[in-house]
Structure 1
Amino acid sequence: MRLVATASIQPGEVLGQTIYRDNGTILLHSGVQFTARLVKRLLEQGITYVYIEDEATKDIVVQSVLSDRLRQDATSSMRSLFADVQKNKLNKNSFVLDEGEKNLTEIIHRIAEEISSHDESISLLTDIYLTDDYIFQHSLNVTIYALAIGATLNLNAQELAELGKGAILHDIGKVFIDPEILQKPDKLTDEEYEIMKSHTIFGYDVLRKNHNYSSVVAHCAYQHHERLDGTGYPRGLKGSDIHLFAQIIGVADVFDAVTSNRVYRKAMLPHEGVELLYSSAVEQFDIRVVEAFKSSVAVYPNGISVELSDNRQGVVMKQNKTICDRPIIRILKENDKDVEPYTVDLSKSLNVTITKCNLVK
């Protein structure tokens, strides 16, 4: 399969991977033949990339990080918990958070298990879902990234559980933000931005008042927008005053935000998102966390077309798990001329680098 920009699909090409809604129902089956109308529909639904069938890459395997069942269960749990928290406001005695904590603990455990059993580096670009509410998809993605970072930093099982809960609930305060501000397609005004920033305080308040959630989990909601140089919010904390888990979630949060398609902004590709993190490392993010993130995530996902520094062109066919920016490439062209396909492992060919990604077949 080959990963391509939806806008570049030509009528007659065939969908290589089923596209799901986040509730588990199928939006579009693999094997369906595209029409111009179908492509337009996907673009209107916000589907930026898809996998198509391709003779030269038909054996390239795309692995989902999470099983469909776990993704559905996690989304359903978040949907229920967030809705009930919004309904009950800041009632510290609400049984809703008590029951929700039990469900989330199980969900986090299952996510951590599936990540650890995944035999390639993580790529969420390969999991193509249509979601009705960005906050749930984003919270789940941030949780996956945060747990992967935590495992790379050798956090123990209890620490990973706390980190996972902090990640999945980091934006729970947004249920108290006016939907017109939360879902505004244009840039926020200064006044609206100040209101938006208050989600960190709301999230902290609702979590700290419930005995089932630790202070650490509450501070993940409170501090995930803080930055090492003091430029973050809500308190402008610096350096070690920001909890490590909040720093991890902050990195995961930024990466998922910039690599997700939004009405007002085109999504970056993973390697562009990683470059953005590195450009802010030291000043805003702990370099150890950024390095752990890079070691966990597929910078160039399977199926994406790439150009190399020696003018060869090909498609990423497999990841090197511990060297995520140097995958195995199937070479299809040399100096723009077709060649008999062969592979090159960039973890061994150290004098060659990827210079460009191409999402147009």
Structure 2
Amino acid sequence: MRLVATASAQPGDILGQTIYRDNGTILLHNGVPLTKRLIERLGEQGITYVYIEDERTKDIVIEPVISERLRQDATSSMKRLFGSIQAHKLNKNSSVLDEEGKNLTDIIGRIMAEIDSHDESITLLTDIYLTDDYVFQHSLNVTIYSLAIGAELKLNAKELSELGKGAMLHDIGKVFIDPDIVQKPERLTDEEFAIMKTHTTLGYELLRKNYNYSAVVAHCAYQHHERIDGSGYPRGLKGNEIHLFAQIIGAADVFDAVTSNRVYRKAMLPHEGLELLYSSAINQFDIRIIEAFKNSVAVYPNGISVELNDKRQGVVVHQNKHICDRPVIRILKEEEREVEPYTIDLSKLLNVMITKCNLV
């Protein structure tokens, strides 16, 4: 399979991977020939990338980092939890967190197990899923990224569980914000953004009053928008004043936000998102967290077309776990001429680098 921009897909291309809605139902089956209208509809619904079948890359297998069943279970649990809180938001009754608390712990354990059993570095291309509510999909993605970073930083099982809860609930304060603001597809006005920023304090106040959640989990909601140079909110904390877990979630939060398609902004590719984090690391993020991110998250997804510094072109076919920016590549062209495909491993050829990604 080969990964292409939806806008670059051609009528007659065969869809290589099933496209799901976030409730687990199928939007479009793999093996379906794409038509002009289908391509247009996918673009209209925010599907930025698709996998298509290709003779020279037909053996490339795309393995999701978590199963569709787990993705559906996690999303459903968050919807029930957030919905219950919204139903009681007038008095901010924290007791509605109790029922879903054990289920949340179970889901985080399942996510950790599936990440651990995954043979490759994790890849999440959020825009191959059709989601009806960005908040839930975003919270799940941030949880997966945060747990991967935490594992790379050698956190123990208990710490990872707490980190996972903090990540899953980092945006829970948004249930108290006007849905028209939370779900607004365009950029927020300054006034709307000021209201949106209160979700950190609202989430903290909710979680700190519930005995099922530790102070650390509450502070993940409170501090995930703080930055080590003091430029964040709500308190303008600096450096080690910000809990490590909140710093991890903050980096994962930014990465998922910029690599997700929005009406007012085109999604970045994973390597572009990582470059953004690196450019911010001097002032806003601890470089150790960004390095851990780089070592655990695949920035060049399987199936993406790449160009190397020696002008060879090919497709990423496999990830080297913990060396995520140096995958295995099938070379298809040399000096713009097609060649008999062969494979190179960038983890063993340190003088060869990826210089460009192509979604065509």
- Does structure 2 retain, via aligned residues, the 8 Å contact 1:163–1:245? yes
CA distance 1:174–1:94, change in 2 (3 Å): closer
Query: Aligned AA for 2:59?
Result: D
CA distance in 1, matches of 2:125, 2:305: 14
SS at match of 2:113: helix
- Offset, 1:195: 0.5
CA distance in 2, matches of 1:55, 1:252: 35
- Offset, 1:282: 2.8
Residue of structure 2 in register with 1:169 after alignment: 169
Q: Which runs of 4+ in 1 moved over 6 A?
A: none
Aligned counterparts, 1:105-144, within 5 A: 105-125=105-125, 128-144=128-144
SS at match of 2:307: strand
The Cα offsets for residues 16-45 of structure 1, whole Å up to 9 and x where unpaired, read as 000011111100000000100000110111
CA distance 1:345–1:127, change in 2 (3 Å): farther
- Offset, 1:94: 4.6
CA distance in 2, matches of 1:270, 1:174: 26
CA distance 1:151–1:91, change in 2 (3 Å): farther
- Does structure 2 retain, via aligned residues, the 8 Å contact 1:115–1:148? yes
Residue of structure 2 in register with 1:67 after alignment: 67
- Offset, 1:125: 1.4
Aligned counterparts, 1:156-305, within 5 A: 156-305=156-305
CA distance in 2, matches of 1:176, 1:91: 11
CA distance in 1, matches of 2:287, 2:94: 39
Tell me the percent identity: 79
- Does structure 1 retain, via aligned residues, the 8 Å contact 2:94–2:207? no
- Offset, 1:138: 0.2
- Does structure 2 retain, via aligned residues, the 8 Å contact 1:126–1:301? no
Query: Aligned AA for 2:133?
Result: D
Where do 5+ consecutive residues of structure 1 fail to align?
none
TM-score after normalising by structure 1:
0.98
Residue of structure 2 in register with 1:32 after alignment: 32
CA distance in 2, matches of 1:69, 1:313: 36
Is residue 2:358 matched to residue 1:327? no
The Cα offsets for residues 188-219 of structure 1, whole Å up to 9 and x where unpaired, read as 22211111100101111111111111110000
- Does structure 1 retain, via aligned residues, the 8 Å contact 2:85–2:93? no
The Cα offsets for residues 69-119 of structure 1, whole Å up to 9 and x where unpaired, read as 111100000000001111112757654211111110000000000000000
Moved more, 89-98 or 117-126: 89-98
Residue of structure 1 in register with 2:18 after alignment: 18
- Does structure 2 retain, via aligned residues, the 8 Å contact 1:92–1:209? no
Is residue 2:359 matched to residue 1:356? no
Moved more, 85-94 or 97-106: 85-94
- Does structure 2 retain, via aligned residues, the 8 Å contact 1:64–1:127? no
Moved more, 82-91 or 147-156: 82-91
Residue of structure 1 in register with 2:307 after alignment: 307
Instruction: Tell me the matched-pair count.
Output: 360
SS at match of 1:60: coil
CA distance in 2, matches of 1:81, 1:93: 12
- Does structure 1 retain, via aligned residues, the 8 Å contact 2:224–2:247? yes
CA distance in 1, matches of 2:144, 2:345: 27
- Does structure 2 retain, via aligned residues, the 8 Å contact 1:148–1:296? yes
